[in-house]
């Protein structure tokens, strides 16, 4: 299994966003030649969040779920395990937790702050999805 499963590079995110915009433009039958801005296309279709935003929410939701598990559970152990050894030279491949850290930075938080929020499920849910109301 690839250790990078579930990670997204900036280039992959860009490709996903451009593909999504292509789909939205196709729905409206608006070509790029018509010079309609992406924001306008999103507003017409009432698409407030991108696929990347949804991926980030799901990733943070899963992170909170795994973090709230008991320490002896396999997903929790896997998240916190570090394999001993020497990594190859050059730029290191992105790991899943690196994406989580980037998602937290976009929300002006770090891992320590996230750990505090995870302890209170309602606060964590509001942090991950601020516009939703939970009953």
- The reply to whether 60 and 17 lie within a common domain is no
**Secondary structure tally for the chain: helices H, strands E:** 7, 0
- The reply to whether 40 and 77 lie within a common domain is no
Range of the structural domain that residue 26 is part of: 8-48
- The per-residue pLDDT for range 55-102, each reduced to its tens digit, is 999 999 999 999 988 989 998 888 888 788 887 888 888 888 889 999
pTM of the full predicted structure?
A: 0.78
- The reply to whether 54 and 27 lie within a common domain is no
- Residue 46 predicted with pLDDT over 50: yes
Across the range 15-39, mean pLDDT stands at 93
Count: domains in the chain: 2
**Residue 1 within any structural domain of the chain:** no
- The reply to whether 131 and 111 lie within a common domain is yes
- The reply to whether 124 and 67 lie within a common domain is yes
- The reply to whether 68 and 25 lie within a common domain is no
The first and second tokens of residue 56, run together, are 């980030």
**Residue 133 within any structural domain of the chain:** yes
**Residue 27 within any structural domain of the chain:** yes
- Residue 13 predicted with pLDDT over 70: yes
- The per-residue pLDDT for range 109-135, each reduced to its tens digit, is 988 889 889 988 899 999 998 766 554
Name the CA dihedral angle for 116, 121, 122, 128, rounded to a multiple of 10 degrees. Answer: 70
- The reply to whether 102 and 119 lie within a common domain is yes
Rg, Å, the chain Cα set: 18
**Residue 99 within any structural domain of the chain:** yes
């Amino acid at each position: 299994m690839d250790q990078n499963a579930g990670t997204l590079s900036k280039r992959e995110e860009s490709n996903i966003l451009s593909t999504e915009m292509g789909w939205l433009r196709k729905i409206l039958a608006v070509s790029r030649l018509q010079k309609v801005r992406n924001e306008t296309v999103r507003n017409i279709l009432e698409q407030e969040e991108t696929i990347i935003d949804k991926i980030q929410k799901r990733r943070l939701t899963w992170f909170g779920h795994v973090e709230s598990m008991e320490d002896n559970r396999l997903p929790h152990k896997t998240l916190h395990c570090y394999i001993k050894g020497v990594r190859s030279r050059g730029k290191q491949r992105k790991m899943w937790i690196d994406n989580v850290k980037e998602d937290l930075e976009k929300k002006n938080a770090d891992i320590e702050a996230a750990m505090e929020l995870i302890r209170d499920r309602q606060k964590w849910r509001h942090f991950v999805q601020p516009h939703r109301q939970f009953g």
